[in-house]
C-alpha cells in the first residue's frame, strides 16, 4: 500500500488529484471547528459529556468528525446525503418510474441524483431543527446554547446547518469527479480518522493493564479479518464460444465472474445504524417518560440495540445485494455475448445457478457484517473496557481504504502498464 502511494506521487496528474482530494478534506475538517452563528461556545463545551461513545449522540458525533459536539457549521456531516441515497436506492426497487430511470443509463442516473439532492436538503432541514431543540434541552439557566432563543436566530442556525450539509455534498461530488476515490466515503473516513488521537489517548490512559496490552493485537486481528472477508470472492468460470467474423475466427477464451462474499459493502451497516439511532434520538428530543424509557431500551450499549442492529444488517445485506446484482441480467448479458458457465445451460438455468450461489455467499457475508458491528459492544459489556471505535467505524475505515487503494492502483496501471506489471 505504501509503495503504491509513493509511486502515485511520481505521476503529475495523480499527484494533482491527490492534492485536490486533500484540500477538500482539509476544508471539511476546518468547517467542523467553526461554530454556527448565535451559538454559545462555552455552553456547548459544558454539555460535551452527553456525547459519549456509548449513546446515539456519540455515534452521530463520530460520523460528523466531532462537528456535532461543537455545534459547528458542518455538525450534520454527510449523513443526510447517505440516508437520502439509501432511501432512493430502496425506492428504486418498489417504484416502477424510478426503476425505469435507473435503466435509462446516464441520463436516468442524473435525474435520480437530482432527486437525492432534493431529499438531502429536506432531511438536513428537519435534522437541523431537531438538533437545535435537542441542544436546548441540555441547556440550563443562563448557559443556553442558543443566544436569545428567537425564531429569527433559530432560522439562521437551521439554514446554516442545512447549507453546510449541502456544501459537504458538493465537496463529495467534486472529490469523486476530480480527485481519487469516492468523495462521500472519503469524508466519512476523514470524520472517523479525525477521532483517532482521542482513541489512542483513551487506550493509553486506560487503567486496565491487560486491556492496554491486548487491545493492539485484538485491533490488528479484527482488521486482518475484515480485509480477508472484504477481498474474499468466489470465481465462477465463464467460457466464450468462438465466432466467425468475415473470414476469421474471433472471440473464444475463458474468464471468470467474481462474486464477492460481501457484495453489499458497508451500506447495510450504515443503514441499520441509522434506523437503530432513530428511537434513541426521539427519546432525547422529547421529555415524556415513555419516550425516555423507549430510548433507554434501545441504548446503543444494550442487548436490544445489538440484536436489532444485527437483524437489520442481515436483512439489508440480502436486500442490497439483490439490488446491486441481478442474476437475470447477468445471465442475459452472458448469453448475448456468447458466454456460458460450463455445465450450466444458458438463459434461465444460468440465472438460477447464479442466484443460488449468491444466496449461499451472502449468508456468511451478512453474519460477518453483523458480527464485526456487534463485537466491540459485546466486549465492552463483558470486560468493561473502553473501545473508542465501534465495529461500524472499523468496517467503514478499512473498506474505504481498500477501495481507494484499488482506484489508485487502477490509475497507475493505466499510466504505467509495463512498470506496474513488474
Domain end, chosen from 151, 180, 195, is at 195
415 domain-assigned? no
Instruction: Label the pairing between strands 242-245 and 248-251.
Output: antiparallel
Each residue's pLDDT expressed in tens, for the chain with a length of 422 residues: 666 667 667 777 888 888 899 999 999 999 888 888 888 777 777 776 666 555 566 767 777 777 888 888 888 888 888 888 878 877 887 888 887 887 777 788 888 889 999 999 999 998 888 888 877 776 655 457 777 778 888 898 899 999 999 999 999 989 988 888 888 888 888 888 887 777 777 777 777 777 778 778 878 888 888 888 888 888 888 888 766 666 666 666 788 888 888 888 777 887 787 777 766 666 666 666 776 677 777 776 777 888 888 898 998 898 888 878 888 888 888 888 778 888 888 888 888 998 899 888 899 989 988 888 887 777 766 665 555 566 677 788 888 888 888 888 877 777 665 444 44
| Together in a domain, 179 and 209 | no
Q: How far is CA 69 from CA 127, 143, 215, in A?
A: 15, 16, 27
- Decide if 358 contacts 124 (C-beta within 8 A): no
| Together in a domain, 153 and 53 | yes
| Together in a domain, 340 and 384 | yes
Domain end, chosen from 195, 222, 252, is at 195
Per the structure, how many domains does the chain have? Answer: 2
Which domain range does residue 230 map to?
A: 198-388
- Burial class from Cβ neighbours inside 10 Å (0-12, 13-18, 19+) for residue 338 reads middle
| Together in a domain, 257 and 183 | no
Q: Count CB neighbours of 209 within 10 A.
A: 8
Query: What does the block give as the cell for 169?
Result: 455534498
> 186: helix, coil or strand?
helix
94 domain-assigned? yes
| Together in a domain, 304 and 274 | yes
403 domain-assigned? no
* CATH number of the domain encompassing residue 139: 1.10.3370.10
| Together in a domain, 191 and 213 | no
| Together in a domain, 315 and 351 | yes
Sequence-distant (6+) residues with CB within 8 A of 242 are 249, 250, 251, 252
| Together in a domain, 260 and 140 | no
Computed on alpha carbons and rounded to an integer, the radius of gyration of the chain in Å comes to 24
Q: For 265-294, give one letter per residue: b (16+ CB within 10 A) or e.
A: bbbbbbbbbbebbebbbbbbebeeeebeee
| Together in a domain, 205 and 185 | no
| Together in a domain, 84 and 145 | yes
Query: What does the block give as the cell for 333?
Result: 448479458
Amino acid at each position: 500500500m505504501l509503495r503504491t502511494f509513493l509511486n502515485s506521487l511520481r505521476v503529475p496528474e495523480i499527484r494533482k488529484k491527490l492534492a485536490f482530494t486533500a484540500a477538500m478534506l482539509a476544508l471539511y475538517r476546518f468547517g467542523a471547528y467553526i461554530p454556527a452563528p448565535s451559538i454559545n461556545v462555552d455552553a456547548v463545551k459544558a454539555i460535551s459529556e452527553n456525547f459519549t461513545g456509548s449513546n446515539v449522540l456519540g455515534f452521530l458525533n463520530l460520523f460528523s468528525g466531532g462537528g456535532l459536539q461543537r455545534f459547528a457549521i458542518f455538525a450534520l456531516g454527510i449523513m443526510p446525503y447517505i440516508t437520502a441515497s439509501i432511501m432512493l436506492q430502496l425506492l428504486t426497487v418498489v417504484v416502477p418510474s424510478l426503476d425505469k430511470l435507473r435503466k435509462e443509463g446516464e441520463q436516468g442516473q442524473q435525474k435520480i441524483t437530482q432527486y437525492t439532492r432534493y431529499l438531502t436538503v429536506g432531511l438536513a432541514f428537519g435534522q437541523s431543527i431537531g438538533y437545535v431543540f435537542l441542544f436546548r434541552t441540555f441547556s440550563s439557566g443562563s448557559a443556553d446554547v442558543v443566544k436569545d432563543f428567537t425564531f429569527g436566530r433559530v432560522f439562521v442556525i437551521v439554514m446554516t446547518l442545512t447549507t453546510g450539509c449541502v456544501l459537504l455534498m458538493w465537496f463529495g461530488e467534486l472529490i469523486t469527479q476530480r480527485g481519487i476515490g469516492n468523495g462521500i466515503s472519503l469524508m466519512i473516513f476523514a470524520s472517523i480518522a479525525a477521532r483517532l488521537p482521542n482513541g489512542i489517548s483513551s487506550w493509553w490512559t486506560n487503567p486496565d493493564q491487560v486491556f492496554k496490552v491486548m487491545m493492539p493485537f485484538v485491533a490488528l486481528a479484527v482488521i486482518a479479518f475484515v480485509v480477508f472477508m472484504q477481498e474474499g470472492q468466489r470465481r465462477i468460470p465463464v467460457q466464450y464460444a468462438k465466432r466467425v467474423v468475415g473470414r476469421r475466427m474471433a472471440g473464444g477464451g475463458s474468464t471468470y465472474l467474481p462474486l464477492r462474499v460481501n457484495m453489499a459493502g458497508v451500506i447495510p451497516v450504515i443503514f441499520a445504524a441509522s434506523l437503530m439511532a432513530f428511537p434513541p434520538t426521539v427519546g432525547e428530543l422529547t421529555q415524556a417518560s415513555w419516550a425516555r424509557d423507549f430510548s433507554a431500551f434501545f441504548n446503543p450499549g444494550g442487548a436490544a440495540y445489538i440484536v436489532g442492529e444485527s437483524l437489520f444488517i442481515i436483512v439489508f445485506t440480502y436486500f442490497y445485494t439483490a439490488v446491486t446484482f441481478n442474476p437475470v441480467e447477468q445471465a442475459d448479458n452472458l448469453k448475448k455475448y456468447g458466454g456460458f458457465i460450463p455445465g450450466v445451460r444458458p438463459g434461465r438455468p444460468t440465472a438460477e445457478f447464479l442466484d443460488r450461489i449468491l444466496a449461499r455467499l451472502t449468508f456468511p457475508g451478512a453474519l460477518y457484517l453483523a458480527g464485526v458491528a456487534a463485537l466491540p459492544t459485546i466486549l465492552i459489556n463483558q470486560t468493561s473496557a473502553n473501545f473508542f471505535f465501534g465495529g461500524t467505524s472499523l468496517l467503514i475505515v478499512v473498506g474505504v481504504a481498500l477501495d481507494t487503494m484499488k482506484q489508485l492502483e487502477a490509475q497507475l496501471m493505466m499510466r504505467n502498464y509495463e512498470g506496474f506489471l513488474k
